[in-house]
Structure 1
Amino acid sequence: MQAHHANLSVQSGRAVVSAGQADAPDFRHRLITPLLGQHRLCLLCAPAGYGKTVLLRQAMQCLEEGSRVVWVSLAGKPLSLEQLSGLIATELGLPLHGGAAPALLRHIVDNRQPLRLILDDLPAQRSVELDDWFDQLLALPSSHFQLLVSARQRPGWNLPRLALTGQLQELDVRQLAFSRPEFNALVDANAASMSVDDRESLWQRSGGWCAGVRLSLSSGEGSRVLLREYLEHEVLTRIGEEERQMLFGLAYLPRFCAELCAQLWEEQDGARLFKRLLRGAAFCFPLKGPSKGEEGWYSLLPLVGQALQGRLGTAELGRLRLHSCRLLSIAGHLTEAIEQALHAQQPEVAANYMERLKPDLQLADGNLHRLLEWRQQLPEALLASTPRLIYLSVLALLFSGRLNESQTCLNQLNRFLPHPDPLEGQRLVANWQALHGTLRAAQGDGTSAGPACREALLYLDRADGLSQLLCYCTLARVAMASGELNRAQEILLQALELARREGCLDSEVLVNTDRVRLMLLQGELNLADALLQESLQLRAPAPMQIDPLRARLLLLQGELHVLRGQWGEGEATLLAGLRHARDCSAPFTLQGYLLLAEIAARRGSFEQSQLHVLEAERRMHCARVDSHLYQNGVSLQRLRILAHQGQWDILLAQSVPLLGRLQAPAMPLPPLLQPALVQETRLLVAQAQVMAGHSGLAVSSLRVLATECAQRQFNLLKAQARQTLAKLGELSSESSDREVSTNPVACSAEPAKMAEVLGDSSSALAGCYLEELTPREVAVLELLAKGLSNQEVSDKLFMSVNTVKYHAKNINTKLGTSRRTQAILFAKAVGIL
């Protein structure tokens, strides 16, 4: 063991860091400042490869000239108190031999020159005597001494006392690992051509593990070999043979705990071995989830687990999987038990465990993706062997947008009717109706969907909570697409009450996504924003890597940002949402890619916009999503891109087939996630007609559309139609019947001038009339229009000045304006004043 200077040069046993050293690299530069503070103890605690030594060196290079540093590399090897104190004394230049430990403490107290003592790679195994000495060292009254320690296991010192007095700076895996921006910067610097999927996979498998990321990026196909060699030197050589064998087995287990290890390695005293592995910090991290059932459970870092696989024989691995499969199922971790059964080539066992899954499990985590994978691995006869398995399969296919496959699978329930038990037969039929109604609605057949769901609700009981929720949500979505928004709101409130009474947060969040969609249609953006924030808080206790519900919330939040013209925030939120949904082949991801295309088009990046649309189509094709769920939405976005390019004639020509499909006599309901698709298309076409000089046709279409949207309470679209009419001079009641040919503005304006009149016609908030003003707000606006000050309005209406300001703010929000003068002008244009 040797003492090293922070810049790796030793001068007479004393380490002096001179000023003017090069700045630390950008990676993890955020951690330098915490290490240079005045804390008595800076503790860096993490497994191998988290850059603890590198970070300490970088920090020491940032010290001022004259700082005194002693660096002792301990290499994780056990040593006595006498050995350690002797090493430190030697590096301090002290003539201490026997009894060096007490003398060393006295020297530190008496010494007035600031000293930083660095102990790199503190051993996990230490004597009680050594730990007692460290507690004495850390309790010294000297204010000129700082101890910096890197370790793979948190030492059992009196750390709470140091924390209470503000003398502890502790960095663990959470801080030492690469952050996502640092990871992205490293990938850009070393593997810029890495695909988005490969990048995301590496991030999820590495968890920001510094060594793992760097080795994976630097060695390409040979990264697994390098990782194995790294782990051999840094981890396996520090543990015994029994611990190594256990670690090789744990590499195949999705989760483990002391009790599980005790039964899997009963002859070797598995619980004792597991605790020794934990003390050795062998990348066994505690699982954190929303339920208390995660307490005491651990998993290997995926990148480490994959690198350690291949060390067990076939027979031994088979026994391990079967044994762990049974134990995991007993512990209630059915998804992991199913995975182990399938790996052990026991499909009957896997199917048996699948029957015990709760249907609402598909709402969270990556379970939807897992169920689809299991369907590929299980024989079809097994998947159709019980009503429960058929129900789970239909749900997975429905949520994934694979409607034709859903229908085929759903038909198999007929084989179990009539049921010997009349009551159970009635429940089976009710669940079939719930699925059938949801499927018919997704296919656009609201006429069949409504009766099926309403009848199902008569016979479903408390045990069929998810089927009840499906019925309510389906009925609400059909009502939205049919323009019955009040009815939709009533149904969603019933669904919300059901979810809350069942205590299912996942179901509550699912209902809230539909409530947000309803609020966006009604133009209640502030309410939608508030509900989104509340729902995201409900997901906060469940920090999962793949979370379809969080994905839906983030995609809706991204849409809200786009509606408000916040392109940067919208793009970041949409990308975050797509990351949570990446492994889930659900059709709701379509909206995320189309919104990204819209943002790119508004920025003038038309090629990038087209690429987003193509990626949306690719995702839908690969996931085998039914074309009804995405085809028309994709076509509309392509028209919007043409609008941003100003190619009005091409837009009008290419809109013909889309309008033909949407306005056909037998046209089904629009996709349930895009209830206003028909009206959005008609509005865009009308605006294109204006820009192409066909204002006569446009005004007629806009009048009909504004009336229809008002009846349906599609207030955002109504606002855009009214805005266009107002700026064309066609909104006032006196001129509503006047032919557009008599309007010189509408007839003679050049396209460039018309663009100025319309502004950003695709923005929902660019001067739009978003929501009706209350009588009180109209009264305030009338007085403001007369030129009265806030105080004068206050006196006239017998309200406080703050209340006047509050009403003025609400008026701007509802009218889509930013200043008082704009609000007054717009209110006059649309007939409010």
Structure 2
Amino acid sequence: MTAMTHAPDRADFLPRLSSHHLARPRLCGALLESATRVKLVCAPAGSGKTALLTECLLQAPVNCTVCWLPLAGSSLSVGEFCERLAHAMGLTVADETSLLYELARRTSTTWVLIDDYCRYPEPALDAFLDRMLAVSSPALTWWIGTRRRPSCNWPRLLLDDALYECEGAVLALTRDEIAQVLRHLPPAQADSVAGRIFQRSGGWCAGVRMLLMQKCDWSQKTLPQQRMDTLLDYLQHELFSGLSPELAEAWRVLVHLPRFNASLCDHLFGAGDGAQWMRTLQTLGCFIEPWQGSPDWLQVCAPLSRLMRDEPWSAGRSWHRRACQWFAAGQHWKCAFEQALLAEEYEVAVSLLQHFSFEHLFEEQTVVLLLRLYEQRGEELLLGSAQLVGLITAALLFAGRFAQAADCIGQLSRFLPPPSAGQQRQLIARWQAQQGWLLHLQGHMDEAREHFEQALNDLSPQAWTARLLCLSGRTQQALLCGDLELAHSINREALCLARAEGSLLFEALLELDHAQLLEQRGASARAEALLADLCEMLGSSVERPTSLLGRIALRRGRLALSMGQQDRAAGFFQQGLDDCLRSFDKRVLYGFLGQAQLAADQGDYPQAFMRLRDAERLMQQRQIPDTVYRGVLLQVSSEFWLQQGRPELAREALTRVLRHYRGPGARQAPPATLELIPRIECLLILAETRLGQTQQPVLRLQSLLEQARSCRMIVLEAELLLAMSEVASILSDRESARQYSDKGRMLVRQFNLRRLLMKFDDAAAVIGSESLSEQQFSEGGESESSLSLRESQVLGLIAAGSSNQQIADKLFISLHTVKTHVRRIHAKLGVERRTHAVARARMLGLCC
């Protein structure tokens, strides 16, 4: 948004920035640094073109003449344009020839900024602009903001290094830029709110502004549901008012389609006309862009499309029906299926499912669409084919709806007996494969293993997808049992089969199991490289496998977190959270958990517990059984309580949850949390030790340590060694504490488990055993002013001028731990400020 202000030394008015303006130095800096003669900013309405040009204008050199030419998108004749340009530049001549001559002989540094160039094709005006750009003096710089790319000789300018083009995509506000507008909120909350606004708007400047204007509480975790009347009014004036009725109707149809091309438009709007209308809308800058970088497919920009689809559309059913016909004829089955659902043609939608396979479940929105169909026509679906029942069952298992999945699996008995004994064996084997996965996800390991093994014995080579699912289930069970060698063997067998069948999606799914195995062995860098390669391979897929990419992002976030790379971890957790939310994947839980752990590492426990409550709320809203999430939520909560010095809460929760994993009827841990049970036992021992309510805690931890070593679970081994050091220190066994700490730290350094050290130092700060966090335990005196080795290190860095964050980075400890050490230093030295602490310590000879 800009306004105009009078400048007495200029030939015309110059713009000023709105009070709501958000600076974008990344764009402004690039434009100002470019030495090109022509700077083209081409983007749809509401992208902030005028504001960007104004921001650059206000930084023009002192000796530069600035000419501002606002055209408001008007269709002008060449003569009218010449008159306006001459007036803006303060020239007395306004005919074409004289104007070109004046432009060519210009010697003083001059900027001409043309804002909102002609929105509709004007061949004569475009040709004149081309001539001006070609003949103008090097002292003259052209800045052109436009929705439509004028028909000029851009390739020639580009080859002459005379053109810098700023395209629409880069004008979108980033998440960090949106967070700057939310300075009134606490930093963590501002970042979270900015993430939700960015997800809803895609960074489209006008969309961000409209969302901020909505009368809703963005501190809440749910997106606002009210209609955006402002958006409709904006589009009416900025888009529809300049289009013919036919083009406006065509745009309204296209915005409701997932993708389109010339052939589909011809089918919808008439042969010849449809393709031409599509190209016209694209030329006019009507928010049409390539679909996922494809050269053949287009889409209306996704955020605007999502916003528009929330609005009622009375004519929608007939258009969706026609689009369904075209997609089905072209064998674009998922798009046809989605259009059939939107047209409420449920019988057609059911019939299209015969073309789906298990791999379709990983494509964006497939699970959501299947669940929608199940809710609308559940009974009809269960009367269909065995393949259809199996597909719906897989979607329900994926989303965590185990009770409904069990009902679907039970319906497979309707198809018995089949025509032959061989077919019957195959049907039963498929039933066992799905029943095995249901039991596996519910935590019944022995029964699940039996079903997996029987299914693998009977499944034919043609049923390779079911075989791969069984092998993946067996791999996860071996990992949960700590049998990493068996897990590796089964995983390799499954990978060979997936590659032989040419299934990239199954290969990626199995490589996720492989990455989990590598993580257990401490090979975090190898696991990260493997997952990065997977992302690159999956990036070439025509249909984006959203859920699979979401799971990969969550796993990469966990790896980055373990290596102490908080910024990378935050990005991966947010990406995984967004993808899993869109695809209704129950693994979305681990995105919330990752964000909670990041907040706790910074000492922001209110935000950490808020993310845990968000996770629980979502699990309950989606009717996911508490066996999927309750144990890990309580385990992470207990970690936070121990870090806060509240062991009584941790002991109560851990004792309660451990009953589900021990004794008769015990359940296995969820597949994504392999170390859950031993970690719960370790935390319980720590809590009881701090409360003085345990017997032989070191021996109990030693038993867990021996199990971890026998299974070669390196990460768990390091964690247990550091826990044993903490326990020994609490029990005043300083020598044992030193030995366990040395061994644990050796593993931490060898396998780059930086976060374990941060957690260990946090624990030392909480329980008041400063010596816990030192490689050499202090033998100093007990005077009030004596500092531990770690506190001396912190004080030395304070004296050197380091900030708390810089101290955390240099000492490989968390920011929260640094603050705790600073508080202790102040208390021991009897001061309140950092400068006083340094002066006092120097006087006492505690630092130089």
Asked if structure 2 preserves the Cα contact closer than 8 Å seen for 1:24 and 1:59, the reply is no
In structure 2, the partner of 1:28 is 24
Deviation at 1:349, TM superposition (A): 0.9
In structure 2, the partner of 1:788 is none
- Runs (5+) with no aligned partner, structure 1: 730-744, 774-816, 819-833
Answer yes or no: is 1:246 the counterpart of 2:250.
yes
Asked if structure 2 preserves the Cα contact closer than 8 Å seen for 1:119 and 1:150, the reply is yes
Q: Bigger CA drift: 539-548 or 24-33?
A: 539-548
Deviation at 1:703, TM superposition (A): 2.2
Give the distance between the partners of 1:490 and 1:308, measured in 2 at CA: 48
In structure 1, the partner of 2:179 is 184
Of 222, 227, 233, the residue aligned with 1:229 is 233
Of 236, 251, 263, the residue aligned with 1:259 is 263
In structure 2, the partner of 1:536 is 535
Q: Residue 378 of structure 1: SS of its match in structure 2? A: helix
Asked if structure 1 preserves the Cα contact closer than 8 Å seen for 2:476 and 2:671, the reply is yes
Give the distance between the partners of 1:509 and 1:333, measured in 2 at CA: 23
Answer yes or no: is 1:588 the counterpart of 2:584.
no
Of 94, 103, 126, the residue aligned with 1:108 is 103
Evaluate the alpha carbon distance shift between residue 657 and residue 117 of structure 1 in structure 2; reply closer, same or farther with a 3 A threshold: closer
> Which aligned pairs between 1:546-565 and structure 2 lie closer than 5 A?
547-565=546-564
Give the distance between the partners of 1:186 and 1:278, measured in 2 at CA: 32
In structure 1, the partner of 2:783 is none
Give the distance between the partners of 2:191 and 2:58, measured in 1 at CA: 36
In structure 2, the partner of 1:297 is 298
In structure 2, the partner of 1:76 is 73
In structure 1, the partner of 2:54 is 57
- Aligned letter for 2:364? D
Deviation at 1:60, TM superposition (A): 0.8
In structure 1, the partner of 2:816 is none
Answer yes or no: is 1:156 the counterpart of 2:151.
yes
> Which aligned pairs between 1:437-516 and structure 2 lie closer than 5 A?
437-460=436-459, 464-516=463-515
Give the distance between the partners of 1:23 and 1:379, measured in 2 at CA: 54
Deviation at 1:149, TM superposition (A): 1.0
Q: Residue 65 of structure 1: SS of its match in structure 2? A: coil
In structure 2, the partner of 1:632 is 631
Q: Residue 65 of structure 2: SS of its match in structure 1? A: strand
- Aligned letter for 1:215? M
Q: Residue 579 of structure 2: SS of its match in structure 1? A: helix
Q: Bigger CA drift: 84-93 or 709-718?
A: 84-93
Deviation at 1:765, TM superposition (A): 6.8
RMSD of the TM alignment (CA)?
3.8
Answer yes or no: is 1:210 the counterpart of 2:209.
no
Deviation at 1:640, TM superposition (A): 1.8
- Aligned letter for 1:358? S
Asked if structure 1 preserves the Cα contact closer than 8 Å seen for 2:23 and 2:55, the reply is no
In structure 2, the partner of 1:735 is none
In structure 1, the partner of 2:130 is 135
- Aligned letter for 2:252? F
Give the distance between the partners of 2:19 and 2:139, measured in 1 at CA: 25
Q: Bigger CA drift: 586-595 or 512-521?
A: 586-595
Asked if structure 1 preserves the Cα contact closer than 8 Å seen for 2:725 and 2:739, the reply is no
Give the distance between the partners of 2:165 and 2:751, measured in 1 at CA: 55
Asked if structure 2 preserves the Cα contact closer than 8 Å seen for 1:41 and 1:168, the reply is yes
Asked if structure 2 preserves the Cα contact closer than 8 Å seen for 1:691 and 1:755, the reply is no
> Which aligned pairs between 1:112-127 and structure 2 lie closer than 5 A?
112-127=107-122
Instruction: Count residues with an aligned counterpart.
Output: 744
In structure 2, the partner of 1:674 is 673
In structure 2, the partner of 1:174 is 169
Deviation at 1:410, TM superposition (A): 0.7
Evaluate the alpha carbon distance shift between residue 85 and residue 141 of structure 1 in structure 2; reply closer, same or farther with a 3 A threshold: closer
Asked if structure 2 preserves the Cα contact closer than 8 Å seen for 1:46 and 1:173, the reply is yes
- Aligned letter for 2:296? E
How far does the alpha carbon of each residue in 1:620-661 deviate from its partner, in whole angstroms, 9 at most, with x for none?
222222222222222222322232133345544543333333
Asked if structure 2 preserves the Cα contact closer than 8 Å seen for 1:6 and 1:15, the reply is no
Asked if structure 1 preserves the Cα contact closer than 8 Å seen for 2:522 and 2:751, the reply is no
In structure 1, the partner of 2:291 is 287
Asked if structure 2 preserves the Cα contact closer than 8 Å seen for 1:248 and 1:309, the reply is no
Give the distance between the partners of 1:758 and 1:599, measured in 2 at CA: 30
Asked if structure 1 preserves the Cα contact closer than 8 Å seen for 2:255 and 2:299, the reply is no
Answer yes or no: is 1:94 the counterpart of 2:91.
yes
Deviation at 1:352, TM superposition (A): 1.1
In structure 2, the partner of 1:405 is 404
In structure 2, the partner of 1:332 is 331
Evaluate the alpha carbon distance shift between residue 347 and residue 223 of structure 1 in structure 2; reply closer, same or farther with a 3 A threshold: closer
In structure 2, the partner of 1:276 is 280
Evaluate the alpha carbon distance shift between residue 352 and residue 27 of structure 1 in structure 2; reply closer, same or farther with a 3 A threshold: farther
Give the distance between the partners of 1:746 and 1:219, measured in 2 at CA: 54
Q: Bigger CA drift: 227-236 or 570-579?
A: 570-579
- Aligned letter for 1:164? L
Give the distance between the partners of 1:88 and 1:658, measured in 2 at CA: 76
Give the distance between the partners of 1:191 and 1:635, measured in 2 at CA: 26
Deviation at 1:748, TM superposition (A): 4.3
Q: Residue 122 of structure 1: SS of its match in structure 2? A: coil
Give the distance between the partners of 2:189 and 2:703, measured in 1 at CA: 50
Normalised TM-score (structure 1): 0.80
Q: Bigger CA drift: 200-209 or 41-50?
A: 200-209
Q: Bigger CA drift: 347-356 or 264-273?
A: 264-273
Q: Residue 340 of structure 1: SS of its match in structure 2? A: helix
Between the two proteins, what is the percent identity of the paired residues? 26
Give the distance between the partners of 1:772 and 1:206, measured in 2 at CA: 41
Deviation at 1:23, TM superposition (A): 12
In structure 1, the partner of 2:788 is none
Deviation at 1:113, TM superposition (A): 0.7
Deviation at 1:746, TM superposition (A): 7.4
How far does the alpha carbon of each residue in 1:251-283 deviate from its partner, in whole angstroms, 9 at most, with x for none?
433333222221222289222222222222222
Deviation at 1:90, TM superposition (A): 3.8
How far does the alpha carbon of each residue in 1:568-623 deviate from its partner, in whole angstroms, 9 at most, with x for none?
54344323321222234333233333343344444443333333332222222222
Q: Bigger CA drift: 349-358 or 191-200?
A: 191-200
Give the distance between the partners of 1:195 and 1:333, measured in 2 at CA: 41
Q: Residue 139 of structure 1: SS of its match in structure 2? A: helix
Give the distance between the partners of 2:298 and 2:463, measured in 1 at CA: 31
Normalised TM-score (structure 2): 0.79
How far does the alpha carbon of each residue in 1:102-128 deviate from its partner, in whole angstroms, 9 at most, with x for none?
332222222211122222222244454
Give the distance between the partners of 2:18 and 2:359, measured in 1 at CA: 55
Give the distance between the partners of 1:341 and 1:552, measured in 2 at CA: 29
Give the distance between the partners of 1:581 and 1:305, measured in 2 at CA: 17
Give the distance between the partners of 2:9 and 2:695, measured in 1 at CA: 93
Give the distance between the partners of 2:713 and 2:500, measured in 1 at CA: 31
Asked if structure 1 preserves the Cα contact closer than 8 Å seen for 2:499 and 2:507, the reply is yes
In structure 2, the partner of 1:791 is none
Deviation at 1:84, TM superposition (A): 2.4
Evaluate the alpha carbon distance shift between residue 712 and residue 219 of structure 1 in structure 2; reply closer, same or farther with a 3 A threshold: closer
Asked if structure 2 preserves the Cα contact closer than 8 Å seen for 1:7 and 1:61, the reply is no
How far does the alpha carbon of each residue in 1:509-556 deviate from its partner, in whole angstroms, 9 at most, with x for none?
222221121122222223223223323333444699992222222222
In structure 1, the partner of 2:604 is 605
Asked if structure 1 preserves the Cα contact closer than 8 Å seen for 2:288 and 2:298, the reply is no
Evaluate the alpha carbon distance shift between residue 78 and residue 642 of structure 1 in structure 2; reply closer, same or farther with a 3 A threshold: closer
Q: Residue 150 of structure 1: SS of its match in structure 2? A: strand
Evaluate the alpha carbon distance shift between residue 677 and residue 408 of structure 1 in structure 2; reply closer, same or farther with a 3 A threshold: same
- Aligned letter for 2:232? R
- Aligned letter for 2:719? Q
In structure 2, the partner of 1:318 is 317
Q: Residue 668 of structure 2: SS of its match in structure 1? A: coil
Asked if structure 2 preserves the Cα contact closer than 8 Å seen for 1:401 and 1:626, the reply is yes
Q: Residue 118 of structure 1: SS of its match in structure 2? A: strand
In structure 1, the partner of 2:36 is 39
Deviation at 1:486, TM superposition (A): 0.4
